[in-house]
Structure 1
Amino acid sequence: MLLKKIRTYIAVSIWVCAVYISAFIPFLVTYLFISRGFDNIIAWSISTVYLFLAIIPLEWTDGSLSRQFIKFASYEGADYFPIRLELDSPESFREGQAYVMGFEPHSSLPLALPPTFALQSNLLPHPLRGNVHGMASSICFQLPLVRQLWWWIGLRPVTRAWMEKLLRQSKSVVLVPGGVQEVLLLEKNKEVLFLKSRKGFIRLAIRNGAPVVPIFAFGQTRTYSWARLGPPIVPQSLVDRLSRLIGAVPIFMYGLYGTPLPHRTPMHVVIGKPIDLGRPSTNPTDEEVEEGLKTYIQAMKDLYERYKVKCGQGDVDLVVV
C-alpha cells in the first residue's frame, strides 16, 4: 500500500513539476554564473543539456523507453486523484472516426486531460484508445523537458495546421475551447465556461467532417487552490494583455500542503454523445458555425445537469459566457 502511494506521488509529480523545473533552470544557471564565475563547469554543463533539449527534434526522442515512461505516469497519475472516465453514449463512437472533442473546464490547470487522453492511457475505451491527441499551448513546446514530456504523452501544438493534419489521419483531437481565458473567470463554487465566442473549433469540425464531442471534467476545479492578479491591485486590461503575451494567465496556485502537488480530489471525466454537424464544407457559413456552437453549448449544459449530482457538484452552478 505504501509503495503504491509512493508510485502515485511520483507519477503526478512528473505531470506538474516539469514546468517548474524548466522555468527554474535558467535562474539556477544565472545564479551559478554570477556567484561562481563565467567559467563554472556545472553552469555550462546544465546550459548545454538545457539547450540540447530545447532544439532536438521531438520525433527523435520517441521510443519504447518513452512509451513505458508515459504508461507509468498515466496509470499511476490517474490513480492519485483518482480519475474515472464515463461515456454518456458508448455505442455512438465508431472506430476509425475522427472527432473534435471539446474538453471543459480549463480550471487552474486542465489536469485531467493528460492522463485521460495520453496515447498510453488505459482509461479510454477501444474505439478511442491510442487514437486521440490532446492539444496544448504552443509555448509548452518551447520549454525543455516540458516539450519532450508533452510530446510523449501525445499532446500536439493547438494550431489549425496540426489539428487538420491529425484529423486527415483519422485521429481525434481534444482541445479546451475556453482556453486560459477561463482562468481569468474562475469563481468559488461556480463553473464558468468561456464558449460563446469560441467558434474556431466548430469551424474546424465542419471543414473536416468531424463530429464534435462535449467533455466535462467534474472535480477538476478543486484540484488547486488559487489566487490571481487583478483588480483592485492590477488593472484587468493589463492582466489580459500579459496573458495574451505569455500564453498563460499569471496566477498563484497551490495544492497539497501548500505545495505544487494538486489536492487529491476525485475527478470524473464524462464524454458526451458525438454531435453530427452535417456535411463537410471547406468554407462553412457564419450561420452554420453559430448553429453548431449553440448545439455544442446546449449539449454541454445538458451533460452537466445530468451528471452534476452523481459527480458531487449538485450545488455548483454552470455558467456559460
Structure 2
Amino acid sequence: MVGNHVACGPGFMFNVIENSGRWKSALLRFFHLLTPAKPGLPIDCPVFISAQCCIVLFIGLFFTRFWLVSVLYATWWLLDWDTPSKGGRRIHCIRNNVIWRHMRNYFPVTLVKTAELDPSKNYVVGFHPHGVLVAGAFLNFCTEATGFSQLFPGLTPHMMMLTLWFRVPFFRDYLLSGGLVPSDKDSASYVLRRWGGGNMLVIAVGGAQEALDARPGAFTLLLKNRKGFVRLAMEHGAPLVPVFSFGENELFDQVDNPKGSWLRRTQHRLQQIMGISLPLFHARGVFQYSFGLLPYRRPIFTVVGKPIKVEKKHNPSQEEVDRLHQTYIEELCKLFEAHKTKYNVPEDRHLEFI
C-alpha cells in the first residue's frame, strides 16, 4: 500500500507571518498552497488536454501550413478506428509519468488492498462513488502513481469511459495511453474474454448521473437499478470486486440541485441529449481557498474489496441477476462499514442507494 503523505511547511516563515498583522490570513493561505504534499517535492498542477481543444486543433491545422499533420492523423485515425474496442493501447511511459505522482501528492491519493486477487482470472470492478471527476479511479487505475502493479502484480486495469470521447481526434490517443476503453458491451466483452486472465474491467457504476449528487458528506450511490455490470460478470464468469473510494465526494462543492428543481431538470435534459452530466461545481483557486475550479486538497483512500465468486451463465435470468446484485450491494456495504471510521466517516453514516 502506498502510504499517506502529510503536508509540512517552512516553520520559520509561518512564525514570521504569525506576527505580520493585516496580511496574516492571506499569507498563511498563500504559503500553505506552496507547501509540498511531500517534503522536498513541489506541487506541479497537471494540465489536462480537453476534448474541445483537440477538436479545434485538428480542424485548425487544416487552415495552416501544417495541414498535412491533420491529413496524416486522419488517415491513421481511420486505420486505428477499432483499437479502443479491442483492449486499447496503453503506453507505460505515460502511465508512469512523474506528473501523476505530483497529482497523487496534491490530495494525496492512496490505494488500499484488502484481499488477494488471482491474476489468472478476469474481474469486473465496481467503483463507487463516481464523484465529480472520478479522480481516485483515474489515478489508481489509469496511472501507476499509487503503485497498482506492485499491489496487484499480474493484473492489468482497463477503466471504462464514455464512448463519445474515443471519437475525438488526439484526445482518444491520450485516453488509450492510460488504458481506458469505451463503455460499450463489445469493448467490455473483449477484455473479459482474454485468455489467461489478468484483466480488471473498472466501471464507475453510478456514471455521469451520480455526479450530480456528488458533494462533501454525501454517501448516496446510484446502484439500485444498475445491474448491467452484474449481468456482464455472469455472462463471462468474472468475479465482481467492490471498490469504495473514501474522500471522492469531498473534492468539490456543488450548487444545490435538489430533484425537481429547474436546475436538476435542466441538467437531466442536457445529459439525455449529450450523454454527459454538467454538475455546477466549485472548490478553491490557485492563490486562495474561497472559490475556484481546483479541487480541495483532501485525501482519497480507494479501498479494493474481496472478490465475489460468480458462476458463468451465458443467458442468466433476471432473478439470478437480481440475487447476485443484492449480494454485491451487501458486500459493498460491508466494505464501507469496515473501513469508514479509519477515514473520518462518522459511525452513524451509512450508504444510501437510489
Bucket of the pairwise TM-score, normalised by the shorter protein: 0.7 to 0.9
Q: Give the equivalent residue in structure 2 for 1:264.
A: 297
Output the TM-score relative to the length of structure 2. Answer: 0.74
Q: Give the equivalent residue in structure 2 for 1:36.
A: none
> What runs of 5+ residues in structure 2 fail to find an aligned partner?
1-35, 286-290
1:242 aligns with 2:239: no
1:91-240 alignment, distance < 5 Å? 93-118=117-142, 120=144, 122-124=146-148, 125-128=150-153, 130-169=155-194, 170=197, 171-227=199-255, 234=262, 236-240=264-268
Q: Give the equivalent residue in structure 1 for 2:323.
A: 291
| Amino acid corresponding to residue 295 of structure 2 in structure 1 | P
Bigger Rg, structure 1 or 2: 2
CA contact (8 A) 1:156 1:162 kept: yes
Distance 1:309 1:50, change over 3 A: farther
Give the aligned length. Answer: 301
| Amino acid corresponding to residue 287 of structure 1 in structure 2 | E
Structure 2 distance, partners of 1:54, 1:259, is 39
1:87 aligns with 2:116: no
CA contact (8 A) 2:283 2:295 kept: yes
Aligned-partner SS, 1:149: helix
Shift of 1:252: 2.4
- Superposed CA offset, 1:190-215 (max 9, x none): 21101010110000111101110100
Aligned-partner SS, 1:5: coil
> What runs of 5+ residues in structure 1 fail to find an aligned partner?
33-38
CA contact (8 A) 2:163 2:182 kept: yes
Structure 2 distance, partners of 1:62, 1:304, is 33
Question: Considering only aligned residues, what root-mean-square deviation do their CA atoms show, in Å?
Answer: 3.4
Q: Which of 2, 17, 23 lines up with 2:52 in the alignment?
A: 23
Structure 2 distance, partners of 1:262, 1:301, is 27
| Amino acid corresponding to residue 18 of structure 1 in structure 2 | I
Q: Give the equivalent residue in structure 1 for 2:93.
A: 68
Q: Give the equivalent residue in structure 1 for 2:344.
A: 312
CA contact (8 A) 2:43 2:106 kept: no
Shift of 1:126: 4.9
Structure 2 distance, partners of 1:50, 1:302, is 52
CA contact (8 A) 2:128 2:244 kept: yes
Distance 1:26 1:283, change over 3 A: closer
Structure 2 distance, partners of 1:212, 1:162, is 18
Output the TM-score relative to the length of structure 1. Answer: 0.81
| Amino acid corresponding to residue 55 of structure 1 in structure 2 | W
Shift of 1:24: 4.3
CA contact (8 A) 1:207 1:284 kept: yes
Aligned-partner SS, 1:203: helix
CA contact (8 A) 1:226 1:252 kept: yes
CA contact (8 A) 1:203 1:284 kept: yes
